[in-house]
Amino acid sequence: MTSELSIRGLRKSFAGRPVLSGVDLDVHAGEFVAVLGANGSGKSTVLRCAVGLQTPDAGTISLAGDRAAMVFQQIHLVRRRTALDNVCAGALGRLPLHRSLAPALFPAALRAEAMACLDRVGLAGQAGDLAGKLSGGQQQRVAIARALCQRAKVILADEPVSALDPSAAEQVVSLLASLAGEGLAVAAVLHQPDLARRHAGRIVGLHEGRIVLDGPPPAIRESDLDVLYGHESRTPHPVAQSSGA
Ligand SMILES: Nc1ncnc2c1ncn2[C@@H]1O[C@H](COP(=O)(O)OP(=O)(O)OP(=O)(O)O)[C@@H](O)[C@H]1O
């Protein structure tokens, strides 16, 4: 398995308080990793460092491709633009400036690519709808299509379903799993262990800035999750790293 994202010895402190204390994590092509952990355990900081939104104090982050794309809980679409225009925005960084200034100037090839991305998330039929008129789940799928339009091989999603109802959440997590099935490397911070168990190939648990669980869902015991979320005082029993790391 190819490691598309490789994190080694990641450390980060805020105002002298350690938040990450040496995180090692690989995410491979074709893999959907769910990152679980209590509030404040450092999950978002790992993803934000991986995508370059935070600067680590120490450690290395290696990407096989040239970038990772990020999907957030706050979806950040331009509500008054169509779904298609929003997806095109994922490609703005690689357009010449004069082509990027307004949607009417976007090249036809980009529109076609954005359409294909919308099709991958099951929303080709909503391409012309204003983003602000779509449901929350549809908006998150548009944001995922926008990430696909960045042509990244790694998609990192930070609580992508925390604001969605259970049915939309299921759909979005299932979509992330299917994109991994197409060969992308996908990691998502989730606060829903049941969704992680149903859809992820691997669960990684963070506790006080360290990875303390790492394995396929059947290897993760309920008691391990209890410890992760602070229902028990002992540290979780570590699970062996999945193959290929
Ligand atoms: N930019 C920042 N400045 C100061 N402190 C920060 C910053 N970003 C994160 N922190 C702190 O670092 C700790 C870990 O934050 P992080 O967002 O990574 O945790 P998390 O596991 O994603 O939590 P949650 O589940 O609540 O989103 C928290 O105590 C948070 O307040």
Model confidence at 227: pLDDT above 60: yes
158 Cα nearest atom in ligand 1: 22
CA dist., res. 27 & res. 209, Å (int): 18
Interface predicted TM-score of the whole assembly (ipTM), two decimals: 0.96
Q: Whose CA is nearest to atom 27 of ligand 1?
A: 39
Q: Whose CA is nearest to atom 29 of ligand 1?
A: 40
Ligand 1 in reach of 42 Cβ (< 6 A): yes
Ligand 1 in reach of 181 Cβ (< 6 A): no
CA dist., res. 155 & res. 185, Å (int): 6
Give the model's confidence band at 7: pLDDT under 50 very low, under 70 low, under 90 confident, else very high.
very high
CATH architecture of 1-67+165-245: 3-Layer(aba) Sandwich (3.40)
Question: Shortest CA distance to 28 belongs to which of 4, 50, 6?
Answer: 4
Q: What is the pLDDT of residues 96-152, one digit of tens each?
A: 677 667 676 677 888 999 999 999 999 999 999 999 999 999 999 999 999 999 999
- Residues 6 or more apart whose CB falls under 8 angstroms from that of 196 comprise 34, 36, 190, 203, 217
Q: Tokens in use for 61?
A: 């982050």
Which residue ranges does the chain devote to CATH 3.40.50.300? 1-67+165-245
